[in-house]
């Protein structure tokens, strides 16, 4: 069975409540579970708490140029420890801070960041995170949504790695992600999902678990892409997060536990993520024709999803009907993340000026 058909079967099973595509027999599962326990001992457990990066970025931009005193864009980050920024010490090194600073620079407008991601989270925690973000009524309106005056303009979601390591059936993972994306889209948010990274590059993982982790994570990434794109979101393949660059430079791009990214690793991933985040808000040129030499083009969404899972940093976005655009956006160097200012008071529409 082709990889595109497998990914589509997972999405179909998700829609109809199935468990997903089986991968291994009982003996193989036993072997892999034993190796997984050994890998977890090598990685070790961490009770570290990611630094909080919530707040206002680019506040001075509110008072510059035409349309001064413009209100901030609202960026939310949801997902797991990678989304939360586990493994770095400074708030400015987290993905949320890097994306907020980069988005402010491109938009020339302040960005208000709220990060509700939780280390260790799997896709079944997304419902709670979305509720926390949007408020009890799920609309994102009013002060109940955290005082930002409405739902986020754009949400960055990174999830899937813990689903693979905890053997969550892929159809269940996709179903839970789809429900979260649908709620965010219904609230008026643009959504960009960083799909499951390639777990086959984690240093403490030995063969054959490494091969199985790679195969499983790429299958999940492809299925996530199909589901998200068909709901009107965009995806970015995060193979780069634990992919070829990380495999080639593990000491620089992995953190001390050899599992979570280092500050340099998060910056590499954020550079791949930022152009799609900007494109979702109409801040990135969309008139570029697909470049066949770079393996870009308009493909059936299933094929585009599989191709994206194989190459890190690849964006997939809906075109029309069953077609999707596969694109490799040129990365933009990120500005150094500033220290965030506190969020404006509840109901406030204009951010404070920099001191």
pLDDT digits (tens, 9 = 90+) for 17-32: 765 555 444 444 455 4
Please give the angle made by the CA atoms of 108, 112 and 115, to the nearest 5 degrees.
135
Matching residue, tokens 């024709």: 289
Tell me the C-alpha distance between 334 and 331, whole Å: 9
- Percent helix, strand, coil in the chain (nearest 5)? 45, 15, 40
- In sequence order, the β-bridge partners of residue 327 are 315
User: Over the range 214-232, which residues count as b (16 or more CB within 10 Å of their CB) and which as e?
Assistant: bbbbbbbbbbbbbbbbbbe
Task: Count CB-CB contacts under 10 A for residue 242.
Answer: 31
Distance CA 326, CA 159 (A): 21
Which are the contacts of 250, defined by CB distance < 8 A and separation ≥ 6? 201, 203, 258
Distance CA 31, CA 146 (A): 46
pLDDT tens-digit profile of 59-88?
Answer: 888 776 665 457 899 999 999 988 999 888
Q: What percent of the chain is modeled with pLDDT above 90?
A: 43
Residue pLDDT tens, the chain, 355 long = 688 988 999 999 998 876 555 544 444 445 545 555 554 454 444 567 889 999 999 988 877 666 545 789 999 999 998 899 988 889 999 999 999 999 999 999 999 999 999 988 999 999 999 999 998 655 565 443 334 457 999 999 999 988 887 888 999 999 999 999 999 999 999 999 999 988 776 655 556 666 677 788 899 999 999 999 999 999 999 875 544 444 555 554 455 555 567 778 788 888 889 999 999 999 987 666 677 777 789 999 999 999 999 888 899 999 988 999 999 887 766 777 667 787 765 544 444 443 3
What is the separation, in whole angstroms, between the first and last Cα of the chain? 61
The whole-number pLDDT of residue 133 equals 95
CA atoms within 13 A on the CB side of 35: 18
Residues 283, 109: Cα–Cα separation, whole Å: 11
| 96 touches 77 (CB < 8 A) | yes
CA distance linking residue 336 with residue 97, whole number of Å = 9
Beta carbons of 161 and 197 less than 8 angstroms apart: yes
3-state secondary structure 86-110: CCCCCHHHCHHHHHHHHHHHHHCCC
- Given a contact cutoff of 8 angstroms between Cβ atoms, the answer to whether 99 and 274 are in contact is yes
């Amino acid at each position: 069975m082709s990889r595109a058909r497998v990914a589509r079967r997972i999405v179909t099973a998700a829609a109809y409540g199935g468990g997903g595509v089986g991968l291994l027999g009982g003996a193989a599962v036993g072997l892999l579970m034993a190796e997984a326990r050994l890998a977890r001992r090598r990685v070790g457990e961490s009770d570290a708490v990611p630094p909080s990066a919530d707040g206002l970025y680019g506040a001075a931009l509110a008072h510059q140029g035409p349309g001064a005193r413009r209100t901030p864009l609202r960026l939310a980050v949801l997902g797991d420890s990678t989304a939360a920024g586990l493994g770095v010490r400074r708030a400015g090194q987290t993905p949320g801070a890097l994306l907020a600073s980069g988005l402010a620079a491109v938009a020339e407008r302040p960005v208000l960041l709220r990060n509700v991601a939780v280390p260790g989270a799997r896709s079944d925690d997304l419902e709670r995170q979305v509720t926390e973000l949007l408020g009890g009524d799920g609309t994102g309106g009013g002060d109940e949504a955290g005082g930002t005056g409405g739902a986020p303009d754009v949400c960055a979601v990174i999830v899937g790695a813990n689903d693979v390591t905890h053997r969550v059936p892929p159809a269940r993972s996709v179903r839970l992600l789809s429900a979260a994306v649908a709620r965010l889209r219904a609230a008026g948010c643009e959504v960009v999902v960083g799909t499951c990274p390639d777990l086959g590059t984690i240093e403490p993982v030995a063969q054959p678990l490494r091969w199985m982790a790679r195969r499983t994570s790429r299958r999940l990434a492809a299925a996530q892409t199909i589901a998200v794109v068909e709901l009107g979101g965009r995806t970015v393949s995060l193979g780069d997060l634990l992919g070829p660059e990380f495999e080639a430079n593990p000491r620089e791009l992995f953190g001390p536990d050899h599992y979570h990214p280092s500050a340099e690793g998060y910056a590499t991933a954020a550079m791949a993520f930022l152009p799609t985040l900007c494109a979702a808000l109409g801040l990135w040129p969309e008139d570029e024709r697909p470049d066949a030499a770079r393996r870009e083009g308009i493909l059936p969404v299933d094929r585009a999803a599989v191709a994206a899972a194989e190459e890190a940093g690849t964006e997939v976005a809906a075109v029309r009907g069953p077609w999707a655009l596969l694109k490799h956006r040129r990365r933009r160097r990120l500005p150094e993340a500033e220290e965030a200012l506190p969020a404006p008071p509840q109901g406030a529409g204009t951010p404070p000026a920099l001191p």
